[in-house]
């Protein structure tokens, strides 16, 4: 089989710990992988002032995919690593789809007492290159009682159309064929109108897809009260960020939530990472659950056309999660990684 060229960015905090386990599992799959690790993150920033130098960004373009742990550290002011490293990667590599499955595996405990795996099985298609993340902003009279801070949301017809189209394609390929647009059209009237019109226009091309609209506040409520309402969701960058942390919570916790920053046109490598952050509160203690990263590795394999290998990894995780129910809780990061690796290796 072919050789995967993979760039690895462990990043900060638990990012390093969980990526170690993700790579172990990837190796056990048996596909030839050539990895190159990049020391981007807080340490490099302190030592050199660099977040993501342009020559390095160009080098990253040459890989088949990127695996990232997490970035962000209490010693670095908020936004520097998040915007100039992580978001720069998502924007520059045109990751306009941020794919975030919300899926309850059998045997996993959910705070929604009676929810069954068939009730929590959705995919959030979060826009990845626009919205409030990409808009202009500014501040006047900073530090005075008259300070004014603005933070705009950027929404283009081109950007909205391509992510909505992707979501329809996802929905039509699933058994339920249901797509929900989540926005806040009752308040964000300019952006919401563009999203709603685009959604309605494209829906005509997909008569098999059942469409629905939900304001983001109501959607947040339905995530915890009636998650079975949702199959595929398409939404703005910021709404998708918030909703998928709720999604993680209902599907067994942030330690299980995987994601892919996908460039569907394949003009640059896609990047796979857990939904969670660097978790400074538990970093270095072997307490982080590496499962989210391992499931992100499965998404990576799937993206590279290795569907069988991806399915093997996902099955190994599902088997491991069932055993946790049977009293395997409290294992370390490495123990969970070892166990899933052994299952993948068969």
User: Considering beta carbons, is residue 12 or 236 the nearer one to ligand NAD?
Assistant: 12
| 32 part of the active site | no
| 217 part of the active site | yes
Asked if 289 touches ligand NAD (CB under 6 A), the answer is yes
> Buried (b) or exposed (e) across 203-240, using 16+ Cβ within 10 A?
beebeebebebbbbeebbebbeeebebbbbbbbbbebb
User: Considering beta carbons, is residue 82 or 338 the nearer one to ligand IPM?
Assistant: 82
- Cβ at position 78, least distance to ligand NAD in Å: 6
Asked if 127 touches ligand IPM (CB under 6 A), the answer is no
Residue 175, CB half-sphere, CA atoms under 13 Å: how many?
A: 3
**Which position among 39, 58, 193, 245 bears the catalytic label?**
245
**Which position among 241, 289, 320, 339 bears the catalytic label?**
241
CA distance 253 to 247: 8
Any residues with CB less than 8 A from the CB of 14 and at least 6 apart, and which? 69, 70, 276, 278, 279, 282, 283, 288, 333
CA distance 57 to 30: 28
| 133 part of the active site | yes
Number of Cβ within a 10 Å radius of residue 6: 22
Binding-site residue total for ligand IPM (CB under 6 A)? 7
- Cβ at position 31, least distance to Mn ion in Å: 29
Q: Which residue in 236, 241, 289, 339 binds ligand IPM (CB under 6 A)?
A: 241
Computed on alpha carbons and rounded to an integer, the radius of gyration of the chain in Å comes to 20
Whether the Cβ atoms of residue 165 and residue 202 lie closer than 8 Å to each other: yes
User: Measured at CB, which residue is nearest to ligand IPM?
Assistant: 82
Nearest to 226 by CA among 208, 209, 214: 214
- Residues in contact with ligand IPM, shown as a per-residue x/- string from 78 to 117 under the rule CB under 6 A: ----x---xx------------------------------
Token reading at 126: 């979060």
Residues in touch with Mn ion (CB under 5 A): 241
Residues in touch with ligand NAD (CB under 6 A): 14, 18, 70-72, 82, 86, 254-255, 273, 276-282, 288-289, 292
Q: Which residues are catalytic?
A: 133, 184, 217, 241, 245
């Amino acid at each position: 089989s072919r050789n995967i060229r993979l760039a690895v960015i462990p990043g900060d905090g638990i990012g390093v710990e969980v990526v170690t386990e993700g790579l172990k599992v990837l190796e056990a799959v048996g596909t030839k992988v050539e990895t190159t690790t990049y020391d981007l993150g807080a340490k490099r920033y302190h030592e050199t002032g660099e977040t993501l130098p342009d020559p390095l960004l160009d080098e990253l373009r040459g890989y088949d995919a990127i695996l990232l742990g997490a970035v962000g550290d209490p010693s670095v002011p908020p936004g520097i690593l998040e915007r100039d490293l992580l978001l720069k990667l998502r924007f520059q590599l045109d990751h306009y789809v941020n794919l975030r499955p919300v899926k309850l595996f059998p045997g996993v405990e959910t705070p929604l007492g009676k929810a069954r795996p068939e009730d929590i099985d959705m995919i959030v298609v979060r826009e990845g290159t626009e919205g409030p993340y990409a808009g202009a902003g500014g501040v006047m009279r900073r530090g005075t009682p008259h300070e004014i801070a603005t933070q705009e949301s950027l929404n283009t017809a081109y950007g909205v159309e391509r992510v909505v189209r992707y979501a329809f394609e996802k929905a039509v390929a699933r058994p339920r064929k249901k797509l929900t647009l989540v926005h806040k059209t009752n308040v964000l009237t300019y952006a919401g109108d563009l999203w709603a019109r685009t959604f309605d226009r494209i829906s005509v091309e997909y008569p098999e897809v059942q469409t629905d609209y939900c304001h983001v506040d109501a959607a947040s409520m339905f995530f915890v009260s009636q998650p079975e309402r949702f199959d595929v969701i398409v939404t703005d960058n910021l709404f998708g960020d918030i909703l998928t942390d709720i999604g993680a919570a209902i599907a067994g916790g942030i330690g299980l939530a995987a994601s892919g920053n996908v460039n569907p046109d394949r003009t640059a490598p896609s990047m796979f990472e857990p939904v969670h952050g660097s978790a400074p509160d538990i970093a270095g203690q072997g307490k982080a659950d590496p499962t989210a990263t391992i499931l992100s590795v499965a998404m990576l394999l799937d993206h590279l056309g290795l569907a069988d290998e991806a399915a093997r990894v996902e099955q190994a995780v599902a088997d491991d999660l069932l055993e946790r129910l049977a009293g395997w809780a409290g294992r370390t990061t490495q123990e969970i990684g070892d166990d899933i690796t052994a299952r993948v290796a068969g």
